[in-house]
């Protein structure tokens, strides 16, 4: 059983200092020679920076946009073993995914992850029968050593009580299994904090304009701060390209003749207000390989995802009318029409899966991580999935240790010597944090609302007390940002000072849920920009 840290009273919890400013960070980056420069602040770059800093290396990480600003905050928000991978015989992969899912949910970030029950409906004429799916969910739970219970089959009536919007026409049975979910943007930001706590220097909104070479080897990068145009550079013994969909763009900076190494698959999602409580998620088979999800998430309903080859500019990826129609049409196989009204839509988003290069249907492609070394010695890492983000970090570190000549090995602690389940900042029981926030209250204003307390506990863990203290000190910061959302203004100040938020989108789309809820009104954006102090 996981032992959770004690939860201090609001007045006794220590407050960490604010992050250094952008100018100070640029100065730090420009003065030192780092062991490792990570280019790319999606989850692959973040987890590598975290593990590298833990190992004792001097680490810098830069990101052209915001941390997790692209695909890493456009996922299905799941921590899962990958039920569909059983279709391709990837039994070992599913078992490894389960292991990582449990580690993140129980030992690393119980304050950011939550268990989620899935119902897999079996309809007359569907691609799979009840016997096959029942056996599938049993095998799936067996691969997690039955630690989340035993996959089984229930009646349509029982499922409909838990999911009132479940379509029951021609519903034969419902298979049940367990997985988990998270807020991907919050998980990413907390992992950035963990990397910084371990000694990494990080900067977002800093674009690489060119690579630095010494004797034909890549030894750093030239950058431009997108917030004010300042140009600066970073020197490093080794550069890691973790730019996701842009990985080949950076590879061509190293070697203009570099052949494409990846292909991209677009995944779109819709967010809707819920018309009834959902006590379970739906995973509905579309065909032999594809599943469409209807997920209760952040008091809303998340629908998706699509899976189609994408060949355009990664910066232009967007949800189209065709995507919306497809998602709603596929959801209608198992969700009642009343829940699928377009009037309930609050947000739509799309991300790009990075898949190994090669032919074939993207829906059948393996979600594996590929690490390659370029002509100039730059390492490029691409692929993988959110569930295994810690494993990806360890994989890259093992690759660094095995490089010819072992340039970094003597300066880094082997992965086998480091804690295998290092917790993310704020590690605590969300129930305990919620209770303490409600007991201690926010004085001198009114007692903190229950939904706000729960929101803070499940997005910050014990760091929620720092936010509550800001609200204590300034009652205006205890007010809700929008009456229909649980967030309070203290979170904006906290995001500015402790979470590298620069503009309104950083705060409203990724540090909070206001944009996803469709509540980032002009008034909200204006006050957010004012608190950020830069015009947002």
Q: Using CA atoms, how far apart are residues 209 and 211, in angstroms rounded to an integer?
A: 7
pLDDT digits (tens, 9 = 90+) for 365-419: 555 788 899 999 999 999 888 999 999 999 999 998 888 877 787 888 888 788 8
CB-CB contact of 112 with 458 (8 Å): yes
Q: What is the pLDDT of residue 148?
A: 81
Answer yes or no: are the C-beta atoms of 309 and 354 closer than 8 Å: no
pLDDT of 535 > 60? The answer is no
pLDDT in tens, 155-181: 999 999 999 999 999 999 999 999 999
pLDDT tens, residue by residue, 302-336: 999 999 999 999 999 999 999 999 999 999 999 99
> Of 140-149, 342-351, 423-432, where does mean pLDDT reach its minimum?
140-149
pLDDT band for position 361 (cuts 50, 70, 90)? low
Cα–Cα distance, 206 to 222 (Å, whole number): 10
For 139, phi and psi rounded to 5 degrees?
-65, -40
pLDDT tier, 16 (very low <50, low <70, confident <90, very high otherwise): low
Amino acid 517: pLDDT: 98
Two tokens, residue 229: 């145009």
Q: Which residue has the higher pLDDT, 131 or 351?
A: 351
Q: What are the E-state strand segments in 190-230?
A: 201-203, 206-214, 217-225
The pLDDT tens digits for 48-100 are 999 999 999 999 999 999 999 999 999 999 999 888 777 777 788 888 888 89
- pLDDT, position 193: 98
* DSSP state for residue 183 in the 8-state scheme: -
| pLDDT at residue number 441 | 60
- CB atoms < 10 A from the CB of 16, how many? 12
- Mean pLDDT for the stretch of residues 460-472: 96
Q: Which of 18-32, 77-91, 521-535 is least confident?
A: 77-91
User: Is it the case that residue 443 has pLDDT exceeding 50?
Assistant: no
What is the average pLDDT value for the chain, to the nearest integer? 91
Which residues sit opposite 352 in a β-bridge? 266
For residue 304, the tally of other CB atoms under 10 A from its CB is: 28
Query: Does the structure show a pLDDT above 70 at 235?
Result: yes
CA 209 to chain centre: 26
Predicted local confidence at residue 534, as pLDDT:
73
Q: Which of 14-23, 258-267, 437-446 has the lowest mean pLDDT?
A: 437-446
426 sits in the region (left: phi over 0; alpha: psi -120 to 50; else beta) called left
pLDDT band at 113 (very low <50, low <70, confident <90, very high): very high
Q: What percent of the chain has pLDDT over 90?
A: 76
The pLDDT assigned to 13 comes to 37
Question: If pLDDT is split at 50, 70 and 90, which confidence band does 184 have?
Answer: very high
CB atoms within 10 A of CB 201: 22
Of the two residues 266 and 536, the one the predictor is more confident about is: 266
Would the CA dihedral through 252, 257, 262, 266 be positive or negative? positive
| Residue that wins the pLDDT comparison between 125 and 293 | 293
Say if residue 273's pLDDT is above 90. yes
- Cα separation of 285 and 308, whole Å? 17
How much is the pLDDT for 536? 47
138-156: per-residue pLDDT in tens? 888 888 777 788 888 999 9
Q: In 169-221, where does DSSP find H-type helix? A: 184-197
Torsion 126-131-133-136 (CA) sign: negative
Least confident of 33-42, 74-83, 182-191, 490-499: 74-83
- Cite the DSSP H helix spans in 352-487: 389-401, 430-440, 450-460, 464-473
The answer for residues whose C-beta is within 8 angstroms of residue 320's C-beta and 6 or more apart is 268
């Amino acid at each position: 059983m996981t032992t959770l840290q004690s939860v201090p009273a609001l007045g006794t919890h220590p407050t960490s200092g604010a992050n250094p400013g952008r100018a100070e960070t640029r100065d730090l980056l420009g003065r030192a020679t780092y062991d490792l420069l990570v280019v790319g602040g999606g989850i692959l770059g973040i987890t590598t920076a975290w593990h590298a800093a833990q190992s004792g290396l001097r680490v810098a990480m830069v990101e052209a946009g915001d941390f997790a600003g692209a695909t890493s905050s456009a996922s299905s928000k799941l921590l899962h073993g990958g039920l569909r991978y059983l279709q391709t015989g990837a039994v070992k992969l599913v078992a490894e995914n389960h292991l990582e899912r449990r580690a993140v949910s129980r030992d690393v970030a119980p304050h950011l992850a939550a268990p989620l029950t899935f119902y897999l409906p079996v309809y007359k004429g569907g691609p799979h029968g009840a016997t096959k799916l029942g056996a599938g969910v049993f095998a799936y739970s067996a691969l997690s050593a039955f630690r989340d219970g035993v996959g089984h089959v229930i009646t349509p009536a029982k499922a409909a009580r838990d999911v009132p919007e479940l379509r029951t026409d021609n519903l034969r049975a419902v298979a049940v299994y367990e997985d988990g979910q998270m807020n991907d943007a919050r998980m990413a930001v907390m992992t950035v904090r963990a990397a910084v706590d371990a000694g990494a220097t990080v900067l977002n909104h800093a674009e690489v304009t060119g690579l630095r070479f010494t004797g034909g080897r890549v030894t750093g990068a030239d950058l431009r701060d997108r917030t004010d145009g300042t140009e600066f550079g970073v020197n490093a013994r080794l550069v890691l390209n973790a730019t996701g969909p842009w990985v080949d763009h950076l590879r061509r900076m190293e070697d203009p003749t570099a052949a494409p190494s990846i292909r991209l698959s677009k995944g779109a999602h819709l967010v809707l207000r819920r018309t009834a409580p959902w006590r379970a998620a739906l995973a509905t088979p579309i065909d032999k390989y594809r599943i469409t999800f209807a997920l209760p998430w952040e008091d809303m309903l998340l629908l998706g995802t699509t899976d189609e080859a994408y060949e355009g500019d990664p910066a232009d990826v967007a949800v189209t009318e065709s995507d919306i129609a497809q998602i709603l049409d596929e959801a209608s196989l198992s969700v009642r029409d009343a829940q699928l009204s377009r009037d309930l839509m609050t947000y739509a988003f799309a991300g790009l899966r990075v898949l190994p290069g090669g032919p074939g249907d993207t829906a059948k492609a393996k979600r594996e991580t590929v690490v390659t070394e370029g002509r100039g010695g730059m390492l490029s890492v691409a692929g993988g999935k959110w569930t295994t983000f810690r494993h990806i970090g360890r994989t890259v570190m093992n690759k660094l240790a095995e490089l010819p000549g072992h340039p970094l090995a003597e300066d880094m602690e082997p992965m086998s010597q480091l804690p295998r389940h290092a917790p993310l900042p704020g590690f605590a029981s969300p129930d305990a944090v919620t209770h303490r926030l409600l007991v201690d209250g926010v004085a001198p204003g009114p007692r903190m609302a229950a939904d706000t307390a729960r929101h803070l506990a499940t997005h910050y863990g014990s760091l929620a007390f720092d936010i509550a203290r800001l609200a204590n000190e300034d009652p205006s910061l205890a007010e809700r940002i929008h009456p229909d959302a649980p967030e309070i203004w203290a979170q904006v100040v906290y995001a500015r000072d402790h979470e590298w938020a620069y503009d309104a989108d950083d705060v409203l789309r990724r540090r909070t849920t206001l944009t996803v809820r469709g509540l980032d009104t002009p008034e909200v954006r204006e006050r957010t920009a004012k608190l950020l102090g830069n015009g947002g």
